[in-house]
Amino acid sequence: MDRKIIGRLSGLGARSSSDAPDIARVAHRRLRAHAGNCSHRRPAGEINIRMVMYDVRMPPDATDTKRRLLKAATDEFAQHGLAGGRVDRIADTAGANKRSIYMHFGAKEELFDRVVAECMRDLAQAITLDDGDVPRYAAELFDRLQVRPHVSRLYRWASLERQHGIDSEVTQYRERIAAIEAAQKSGQVRDDISPVELLAMVLAMVLSWDTAAWSLKELAPVEPDPAQRRAALVAGVTSLIRP
């Protein structure tokens, strides 16, 4: 092939994976034009075009990187909270660099809010209160937190370190408040306590052992097993909401 054509094709050098299709089309047109100008033409349909391969490095999968960063951030913040959590540890655990954290999530505070919001969203999707059955809701929430203790820790860290609402979490609470209001109107739940305060009491009962002072826990002869705590929770919530 003409060295000038080879030089022109080399000069097209793709800078990214997104350039490759356009460069391939340009190269194809130039090769066809060159073939048409050759003194030794081949019959139509028999133009011999040599394929040119470009050394293009595909970018990493951003979705996978974000997934690994969120998982690492969830573990880091659940263990150390916002103030104690370190961005470099999150990046190392995820096999990424710190720049990718800022690129995908922004500052550390924004990443923390994202982690908390996603954990609360998953919790809300798994456990509903549509039927107004508050004791059942409390029991299922207790069960869920037993197998996902990091969610309980994140909830408590957020209460201490991020004293403002998160829009998505506010929306989820609003749905539960509406369900309690409906249950109060139907006579299923007592109506002398506001729905917001009632839900706060129920959540406090679900987390009662986790949030109890260690000095108080030392007075328990033995730590109650989860089954006992769950039964006590259901009994307590049932008594609390009784009209």
Can you give the pLDDT at residue 32?
55
Residues 135-190 pLDDT 10s: 999 999 999 999 999 999 999 999 999 888 888 888 899 999 999 999 999 999 99
The secondary structure of residue 58, as a DSSP letter, is P
- In CATH, the architecture of 122-241 is Orthogonal Bundle (1.10)
Cβ pair 54, 23 in contact under 8 A: yes
Per-residue confidence band for 58, with pLDDT thresholds at 50, 70 and 90? very low
**Across residues 76-92, what is the average pLDDT?**
96
Residues making up the chain, counted from first to last: 243
Cβ pair 89, 73 in contact under 8 A: no
| Cα dihedral sign, 23-24-25-26 | positive
Looking at residue 15, its amino acid is R
Residues 192-233 pLDDT 10s: 999 999 999 999 999 999 999 999 999 998 888 999 999 999
Residue tagged 């039964």 (tokens): 231
Residues 2-38 pLDDT 10s: 444 444 444 444 444 444 444 445 445 554 554 455 4
**What residue ranges do the domains of the chain occupy?**
1-59, 61-106, 122-241
Q: 61-106 sits in which CATH class? A: mainly alpha
